[in-house]
Structure 1
Amino acid sequence: MKLDENQLKEFHENGFLVLKNFADTKLCEKILEKAKSHLENKIAPIETEQEYIQKDLEKVTVRRLRQVYDRETVFQDWMRNEEIRPILKQILNDTPVLTLAHHNSIMTKLPHESTRTFWHQDRRYWDFKNNNLVSVWLSLGDEFLENGLLEFIPKSHKIEFSKDRFDEVDNFLDENEENKKLIETKVHTNLKKGDVVLFHCKTLHHANKNISNEAKISFVYTVRAASNKPTKNTRSDFKEVILD
């Protein structure tokens, strides 16, 4: 499968693209079954809500399962999916490479225990030669605003922001007057099981906490262009998988 001309243009112009009904439902169900088991048993490595908001470290509410590629074969099956490879190659204009140091994760927002994910660009986490990186977000169930659906700011990946528009951990400041105007342009698309969202590493996005009564569970991984090498001896210089 490949993107048509309009889809490719939409991704490059807006910095993200939704692919409806992309992943096989049975595969999603298998992923979800394994993910729930790892979440319920809090199998390390994990990130907790308490770490994220830096308080009450005695409590453990899982925010994400890290390093999922090596946890289960079914997780690898999705990350090595052959149908999406031509699309990733189109977007990157290069051979895609799974960068397992980053966004190699099952993401969750548990009901009433999750926290808001502030506006940010994922590029803050990584150390690569350039910004030719794309994340692949797979919805494993219904995602909507009340349970923490991702919202995006179109075209934000093309803007060069001054440092004063971010806080000390590179969250985009809600109270900044320039930021407020840009945040007003935010958009969202409700997701169903099997829907995929592709987004550029500099596209601003956020998600509210989950105020519904059911957990929201998603799968995200990131690919880089083969020519976009990680900086040596950094966190990004880690195990990778070439998707040729």
Structure 2
Amino acid sequence: MSMNATIDRPTQPALTPAQRELFKVDGFLIMRGLASAERLNAMRTTAVEHASAHVAPIEYEADVAYPGAPASRDAEGGDTPRRLLQAYDRDPLFADWAADARLSAIVAQLLDSDDVWLSRNHHNCVMTKSPRYSTATAWHKDLRYWSFETPRLVNAWLALGDETPANGCMRVLPGTHRMPFDAEQMDADQFLREDRDDNARLIESAIDAQLAPGDVLFFDAGLLHAAGANTTDERKLSMVTTYYGSDNAPVPGTRSARLEPVPIRETRHA
């Protein structure tokens, strides 16, 4: 298993064979400075406005019922937003980023597909991690509740501000997208059981995906990842989007097919 190195911002959005192999082996790749300061400021301002005004649709910390979350929306901190849902349809700023040419070019290379679609049913949100009532997220794979023909999906996590262990940055377990897991290794909600010795040894390989504003963490939807609570005094904001290529499609009649996907890159045939 290789140690994943971060990749400096390229002059052109073309990955080297080594970078593509790194993603294939480790299941994640960090690209630095993909979003400009001007774009980030505008996105942050809009995200804070929507969170403060509770612009629907929103998922609240109380809704997920993770350990330490407010018991209900009526409890203290129960009105703390966790995710601003439907980012693509929420504001043109978010839609423009989701369809950004440089972003989609990188995704296309990671998926090895000329055609790329954005899922509006999974992720497609602005993550808000507040100081007082944010909760940690245990180790899991995003594919646990998704229904696609193949597991080949890529997530793009844009840092709208600094992401560190102190404010609950993403943690990843390199190579776990390629590993089989027994049902006994997971709990009823498909989170990795940390009370098992084999899982505990695996967690020792965890890497903190520390990001600066404008950095993007690309990761395989089958990669085990987790995140801590925000112990700072400032809200952490990130935007995350999910993509798939021409070898894949959501299964009809499932949650993954509820909303139509958005074609981000399509090959034009004569």
Q: TM-score range by the shorter chain?
A: over 0.9
Name structure 2 gaps, 5 residues minimum: 1-12, 266-270
Structure 1 residue identity aligned to 2:104: R
Structure 2 residue identity aligned to 1:91: L
2:97 corresponds to = 78
**What root-mean-square deviation, in Å, do the aligned CA atoms of Structure 1 and Structure 2 show?**
1.0
Q: Percentage identity across aligned positions?
A: 34
Q: Matches of residues 67-216 of structure 1 in structure 2 within 5 Å? A: 67-94=86-113, 95-216=115-236
Structure 1 residue identity aligned to 2:103: I
- Find 1:23's aligned residue among 35, 41, 57: 35
Say if 2:254 is the partner of 1:242.
no
Following superposition, which runs of at least 4 residues in structure 1 exceed 4 angstroms of deviation?
none
Counterpart CA distance in 2 for 1:2 and 1:126 is 29
Partner SS state of residue 30, structure 1: helix
Q: How does the TM-score come out when normalised to structure 2?
A: 0.88
Counterpart CA distance in 2 for 1:143 and 1:235 is 30
- Find 1:60's aligned residue among 64, 79, 99: 79
1:14-58 Cα shifts (integer Å, max 9, x gaps):
000000111112111111111111100111111111111172231
2:4 corresponds to = none
1:158-190 Cα shifts (integer Å, max 9, x gaps):
001011111111111111211100000001232
Partner SS state of residue 181, structure 1: helix
Count of residue correspondences: 244
Partner SS state of residue 9, structure 1: helix
Q: Matches of residues 3-42 of structure 1 in structure 2 within 5 Å? A: 3-42=15-54
1:120-171 Cα shifts (integer Å, max 9, x gaps):
0000131000111000000000110010000100000000101111111111
Q: How does the TM-score come out when normalised to structure 1?
A: 0.97
2:268 corresponds to = none
Say if 2:243 is the partner of 1:223.
yes
